[in-house]
Each structure stands twice: as structure tokens, then as C-alpha cells.
């Protein structure tokens, strides 16, 4: 399922994909990254996070790289990086449109 079929990413989806840009991460690291990056504005509960991770795995946006007991580590795929970049461009266009209207 391509990102165009899925539609825009929600804010939590966007930040979860962003969390993988520089390194592989497990759930706890993702939650901490998102909270730190958004200064607490976006908080991921376990249900939301693990639902998103399962969805992203199904869509092949991320892949599991390591399992240690209950700890699972994931990484962004090329398809996931493309989906992130596509959403970033969409958001930039939205901001540009809004700024243009305010002038």
C-alpha cells in the first residue's frame, strides 16, 4: 500500500517515522524521541505506538532488525523514508500556502 493510497500521515505517524531517520530504535526509544522532539506536545501511549509499528511493518515502511526478549528494534526502509519525505513536502507546501495568505 503506497503512501498516496494511505493519505496524509497523522502527527504521531510522522514523528514515529522521523524517529528512525538517524538510527534503529525500540519502542521506548521512539516514545522518548517523540516526546523530546515535540517538547511533550505529542505523547505516544503504548497502544498507539504498537498499532502504528504494526501498520508500518505491514506497509513495509519499517522492518524489525532485532529481538531481545520483549524488546524489538526497528529500522526505516527506503519506502518508509520516501513516505516521510513525501509528508514533509506536503507539510512544507501547507505552511507556504498559509504564510502566503497571511501576507
Q: Which pLDDT belongs to residue 5?
A: 59
The enclosing domain of 70 has a CATH number of 1.10.10.10
Compute the distance between CA of residue 103 and CA of residue 64 in angstroms, rounded to an integer. Answer: 46
7 pLDDT band, cuts 50/70/90, is confident
Domain count, the chain: 1
Q: Which pLDDT belongs to residue 103?
A: 85
Helix, strand, coil content of the chain in percent (nearest 5): 60, 15, 25
Residue ranges making up the domain that contains 58: 3-93
Q: What is the pLDDT of residues 38-82, one digit of tens each?
A: 999 999 999 999 999 999 999 999 999 999 999 999 999 999 999
Q: Which pLDDT belongs to residue 6?
A: 66
What is the arithmetic mean of pLDDT over 2-21?
Answer: 84
Amino acid at each position: 500500500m503506497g503512501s498516496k493510497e494511505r493519505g496524509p500521515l497523522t502527527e504521531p505517524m510522522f514523528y514515529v517515522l522521523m524517529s528512525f531517520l538517524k538510527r534503529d530504535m525500540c519502542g521506548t526509544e521512539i516514545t522518548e524521541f517523540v516526546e523530546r522532539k515535540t517538547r511533550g506536545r505529542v505523547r505516544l501511549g503504548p497502544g498507539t505506538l504498537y498499532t502504528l509499528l504494526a501498520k508500518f511493518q505491514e506497509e513495509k515502511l519499517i522492518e524489525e532488525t532485532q529481538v531481545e526478549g520483549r524488546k524489538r528494534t526497528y529500522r526505516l526502509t527506503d519506502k518508509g523514508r520516501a513516505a516521510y519525505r513525501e509528508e514533509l513536502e506536503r507539510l512544507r507546501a501547507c505552511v507556504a500556502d498559509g504564510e502566503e495568505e497571511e501576507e
